[in-house]
Each structure stands twice: as structure tokens, then as C-alpha cells.
């Protein structure tokens, strides 16, 4: 299985266009050792030619320009992207669908709850009907594994993640199974497994078991501390209120990752306030010392 990181930042990207927090200001002015990052999305493939997107970020046009393997150029109009899987209906994970309109019809796999949001609060399915058949909806039952045509060796196993629907959702305050999922992706040819969870509010025994039996885990690295948004003055909510478990300290994701012996460990969906973006920071050094990598745009992994 080939994994390509299209974007590694949380909503807003890095730097965020209207932000002057120390990280955003620092990367914009070149005064800190940090890489700019687009909003989170990865692509997976079993043959390196046909790819599935996991989320479609608003930065997708630039991401696909950088991602040369996604344009095999076999004919006048072409793409290696055949399907999109959505982990939830957040705007930073779905607005890229609008940019894919020239390539419709496009297969989109999502849960019924996500499809409801994308036909009501943000009706992108309805809007794109006017583009050559639009988005073809394939329902993910969040309790059932699924396969995608053309990807014979890959199996996708969803996992229900407890978190709220986006602010625009008609059922924002009425959580349902399937509002957010994580994915186990098994490659039956190589016998390797990826666990992908860009939004993870809690790590329980079941998730620990899944991570221990994976070859690579790519999980939520949004915030270093739970109150980071308040500390930097950019927001009022804690990480956990937004469905993101912090990395550091007791109960943080790093303490769980450190209990795993098997997998390659990667943090993704990094918020622009997070000190791990600065590669000269003590926080970045702490991750490195613990064998935890920080995803960057263009990162490639082969399993």
C-alpha cells in the first residue's frame, strides 16, 4: 500500500491566512524552522497509479498539482483519483469536492450522517448534480467493512468515533454514530495495515488494540495541550470540546503511542498553534526522541 500525505495541517492550514500567532507569523516571515502545510488529506493506493482520497480539503487543487503520481496523463482529460472517502462532513475535509467538479462523475464514500449534512447544511451533492452526473454516493455502514471497485487488495474497516457534527450541520447538537469515523485499511497483498484517525477525541482499549496490530498509525496531532487555543488567544474551546485529544502529558496521545511497540507512528491534522510545527522546539525534539513523526505535505509511506 502506498500512502501519500497531500496535506498535514488542521483547518485553516499553516500559516492560516489571517493569523499572527507565533507559528503563523514565524513561518510567514521565515523566522522559525517550520514547513508550511495545507489542510489535511491523504491518498492511498495499491498500485501507485489509482488513488483514493481520504477527505477532500479546500487546498486540493494545489495538493494535486504537487502530487505528480495522481496525473498519469494517459489521455487528454485524466486523473489517478477514482474515489473519495470522507471521514466526516467538516468543511476543511469536504469543500475540496467543489474543486473536483471538472472530474465528475466522482465516487464518494461516506456514512449516511455525512451524506445528510452534504445534502442539507452544505448541499454539495445537490449542487454538483449539474456537473456530468456529479458525486456518486456510496454509503459506508460505520459498522461494516467495505471494498472499492478497482482496489482488489484493499479492505476498509470503519470505526465509529464519538464527536460532534460540524457547526453548520442541522444535527450539530444531536450526535449520531457515523458523524465521524476512523479507518483501518488492510492491504491483503502485503498483509500490512494502516490506522487513519485524523480526528480522535479519546483513545480506549479497542483503539489501542487496533493501533498495536497496525503497521502504521496516522492519528490526530491537532493540539499539543488541551487549552492551546486559549493559551495562544486564538480561540475559546478546549481540544476535547472540538473532538481532538491533546498530545502531551498525562492522558495525552503520546503517552498511548509510547505503549505501542509495532507501528510506525505519525501525527497528522496539526493545528497552526501547535509548537511541534517548529522543528527547533523542545516539543518537536520530544516527539523525535519517542520515535513519533510529524506528517508534512508530500510525505510518502509504503506498507
Catalog residues that contact Zn ion under the rule CB under 5 A. 11, 16, 19, 21, 24, 92, 272
- Looking at beta carbons only, is 208 or 299 nearer to Zn ion? 299
Q: Record the cell numbers describing residue 233, joined without a space.
A: 488567544
- Looking at beta carbons only, is 26 or 298 nearer to Zn ion? 26
- Looking at beta carbons only, is 24 or 154 nearer to Zn ion? 24
* Nearest distance, CB of residue 93 and Zn ion, angstroms: 6
* Nearest distance, CB of residue 229 and Zn ion, angstroms: 10
Q: Record the cell numbers describing residue 272, joined without a space.
A: 497552526
Helix (H) or strand (E) holding 231: helix 228-231
* Nearest distance, CB of residue 213 and Zn ion, angstroms: 26
- Looking at beta carbons only, is 180 or 193 nearer to Zn ion? 180
* Nearest distance, CB of residue 69 and Zn ion, angstroms: 24
Q: Running DSSP on this structure, what letter comes out for residue 181? A: E
- Looking at beta carbons only, is 11 or 134 nearer to Zn ion? 11
Contacts with 2 (C-beta within 8 Å, 6 or more apart), sequence order: 44, 45, 46, 48, 300, 301, 302
Bridge partners (DSSP) listed for residue 2: 45, 302
* Nearest distance, CB of residue 221 and Zn ion, angstroms: 11
Could you tell me where the DSSP H helices lie in 88-178? Answer: 91-94, 96-99, 112-117, 124-128
* Nearest distance, CB of residue 164 and Zn ion, angstroms: 13
- Looking at beta carbons only, is 169 or 272 nearer to Zn ion? 272
* Contact between residue 206 and residue 127 where contact means Cβ atoms under 8 Å apart: no
Contacts with 166 (C-beta within 8 Å, 6 or more apart), sequence order: 88, 89, 90, 91, 117, 121, 122, 172
- How many Cα atoms sit within 13 Å of 45 on the Cβ side? 17
Amino acid at each position: 500500500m502506498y500512502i501519500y500525505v497531500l496535506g498535514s495541517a488542521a483547518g485553516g492550514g499553516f500559516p492560516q491566512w489571517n493569523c499572527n500567532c507565533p507559528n503563523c507569523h514565524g513561518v510567514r516571515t521565515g523566522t522559525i524552522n517550520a514547513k508550511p502545510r495545507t489542510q489535511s488529506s491523504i491518498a492511498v493506493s495499491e498500485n501507485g497509479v489509482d488513488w483514493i482520497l481520504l477527505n477532500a480539503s479546500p487546498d486540493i487543487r494545489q495538493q494535486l498539482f504537487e502530487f505528480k503520481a495522481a496525473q498519469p496523463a494517459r489521455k487528454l482529460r485524466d486523473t489517478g483519483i477514482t474515489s473519495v472517502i470522507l471521514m466526516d462532513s467538516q468543511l476543511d475535509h469536504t469543500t475540496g469536492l467543489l474543486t473536483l467538479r471538472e472530474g465528475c462523475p466522482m465516487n464518494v464514500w461516506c456514512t449516511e450522517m455525512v451524506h445528510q449534512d452534504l445534502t442539507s447544511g452544505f448541499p454539495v451533492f445537490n449542487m454538483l448534480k449539474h456537473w456530468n452526473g456529479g458525486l456518486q454516493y456510496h454509503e459506508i455502514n460505520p459498522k461494516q467493512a467495505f471494498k472499492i471497485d478497482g482496489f482488489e487488495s484493499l479492505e476498509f474497516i470503519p470505526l465509529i468515533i464519538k464527536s460532534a457534527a460540524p457547526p453548520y450541520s442541522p444535527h450539530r447538537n444531536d450526535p449520531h454514530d457515523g458523524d465521524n469515523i476512523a479507518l483501518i485499511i488492510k492491504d491483503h497483498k502485503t498483509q500490512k495495515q494502516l490506522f487513519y484517525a485524523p480526528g480522535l477525541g479519546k483513545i480506549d482499549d479497542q483503539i489501542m488494540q487496533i493501533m498495536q496490530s497496525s503497521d502504521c498509525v496516522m492519528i490526530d496531532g491537532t493540539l499539543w495541550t488541551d487549552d492551546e487555543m486559549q493559551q495562544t488567544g486564538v480561540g475559546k474551546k478546549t481540544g476535547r470540546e472540538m473532538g481532538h485529544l491533546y498530545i502531551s502529558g498525562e492522558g495525552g496521545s503520546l503517552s498511548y503511542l509510547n505503549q505501542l511497540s509495532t507501528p510506525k507512528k505519525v501525527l497528522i491534522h496539526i493545528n497552526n498553534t501547535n509548537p511541534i510545527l517548529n522543528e527547533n522546539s523542545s516539543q518537536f525534539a520530544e516527539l523525535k526522541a519517542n520515535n513519533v513523526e510529524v506528517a508534512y505535505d508530500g510525505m510518502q509511506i509504503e506498507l
